[in-house]
Amino acid sequence: MSVFTQLKQQLSEQRSQLQLAQEWIQLKADVDLLAEESSLLGWLKSQNQHFPHFFFEKRDENQTIATIGAVETFSSLEEAQAFVQSNSLSLVGGIQFEGLCQFVLPRLMLVKNSQKLTAYLTLNISEQAVDFTDIFSNLGTDFFIQNHQILPPQPACTFEQWKANIEQAIIQIKSGDLRKVVLANATQLTFENHISAYDLVEQSREINLGCYHFLWAENAQNAFVGSTPERLYYRKGNQLFTEALAGTVAVSDNPIETEKNAQWLLKDTKNIYENQLVVEDIEAHLNTYVEAFEVHSPEIKRLHNVQHLRRRIEAILKADVLDQDCLRQIHPTAAIAGLPRAKATQFIAKNEPFKRGWYAGTLGIFNLQEAEFCVTLRSAKIEHNQITLYAGAGIVAESESVSEWQEIERKSQALAKLLS
């Protein structure tokens, strides 16, 4: 008997015995796991009647979350936070770069770790009998349908436009109007067949190690996916863990050269300055919300094709600080927008020839006890047979257009190479 069938039986038994005595009821079932019998992406892929879909594989912890459906939706942080405070349930979703907020209370949430698979089914007192048996049927396990690109890449920004934007940014930086701005590009690829978001994330999980892997799909045709190395924050009680991830250099096929690049990155003035700006921005925005704030020494975060300069940050939150405060104060960081934050986002809106949407936004999960959100980088938007790849680079006074262009090309390859 599969683990999904076992979960269905447990939840069905609990549902048949249930007497709703409060507004929200959450049924819980769990089963022991064998590694080969629990593909959450395969399960999600088969759920074509229940949306939205949310997939979130954590970077530093052996835990993966997959949800389907929305019993309740929230379009503001205040509404989402108030619900969590009142009901002690978990919400999933996030905030787009431009500020659009989307959180949901999922109908069904599966949480997988190395030993167990746990299901949470949420019901409302106003609902009549809820049939959830189809949720555990027709499980799909087939991945990687062959696809062929039929049109050349269509970048939103040519190199000439990119160079002009960087030159304009440097003028404003040298005048003191900006200290840093993060400029991005979006490249659209068109394929012969429908692109499966689930297949792409599954492939990325195998190659792009040391990352969060995420998927947000509002229907069967459109999804936002990615594999990002960057944490926005993790909260456990009143302990907060965040980071400054800024400064990039290549990873080579030659391990000696890769290590040489890493040592250069740890000493390079331009990249150290860029990273320090992110630290200062986070500290400034959290200053009145924390009891203590500690910044760790610089280290290298090495990925499949690039490596980054990172400083881990720990803080103790004041007693009355909520996740809505953390999200508002930390997002968007100087690593994805710039400094000063308001002027940098204005520059981006004026000069980038596309709307970022979920790119450089944040996705995650939160409840009263803990919260975890990633920064949605190394990401792509999928619409039917088209995919838009995103990548950005931090611009400071010492930036040079060719090297920054090469940086975003390397970053976009994290997903682009999986499509060839």
343 is catalytic: no
- Neighbouring C-alpha atoms within 13 Å toward the C-beta of 133: 7
Higher pLDDT, 103 or 34: 103
Q: Give the domain-ending residue among 80, 101, 134.
A: 134
Q: What is the pLDDT of residue 296?
A: 97
Q: Are residues 320 and 385 in the same domain?
A: yes
For residue 112, pLDDT over 80 is answered with yes
355 is catalytic: no
Given the residues 180, 301, 381, 411, the one annotated as active site? 180
Q: Are residues 92 and 174 in the same domain?
A: no
Range of the domain at 236: 151-196+207-212+229-419
Q: What is the largest CA-CA distance in the chain?
A: 69
Given the residues 230, 243, 352, 372, the one annotated as active site? 230
Q: Give the domain-ending residue among 86, 108, 134.
A: 134
262-291 mean pLDDT: 96
Q: Are residues 129 and 156 in the same domain?
A: no
Dihedral sign for Cα atoms in the order 374, 376, 378, 382 = positive
Asked if residue 145 is part of any domain, the answer here is no
Number of domains the chain contains: 2
Q: Are residues 60 and 189 in the same domain?
A: no
- Beta-strand ranges (E) seen in 237-377 are 239-250, 290-295, 299-302, 306-317, 338-339, 362-366, 370-375
Q: What is the pTM of this model?
A: 0.94
Q: Are residues 109 and 247 in the same domain?
A: no
The whole-angstrom separation of Cα 104 and Cα 239 is: 25
Q: What is the pLDDT of residue 256?
A: 96
Ramachandran area for residue 237 (φ above 0: left; ψ -120 to 50: alpha; else beta) = left
The whole-angstrom separation of Cα 174 and Cα 397 is: 6
Give, as one character, the DSSP assignment of residue 369. S
Q: Are residues 297 and 359 in the same domain?
A: yes
The CATH number given to whatever domain includes residue 366 is: 3.60.120.10
Q: Are residues 267 and 399 in the same domain?
A: yes
Asked if residue 224 is part of any domain, the answer here is no
Asked if residue 218 is part of any domain, the answer here is no
Q: What is the pLDDT of residue 153?
A: 86
Q: Residue 123's pLDDT band (boundaries 50, 70, 90)? A: confident
Q: Are residues 261 and 337 in the same domain?
A: yes
Amino acid at 195: I
Q: Give the domain-ending residue among 108, 134, 160.
A: 134
Q: Are residues 91 and 161 in the same domain?
A: no
CA distances in angstroms from 208 to 38, 124, 230, 307, listed in the order given = 20, 39, 13, 12
The whole-angstrom separation of Cα 385 and Cα 109 is: 28
HEC string for 22-40: CCEEEEEEEEECCHHHCCH
Q: What is the pLDDT of residues 388-413, one digit of tens each?
A: 999 999 999 999 999 999 989 888 88
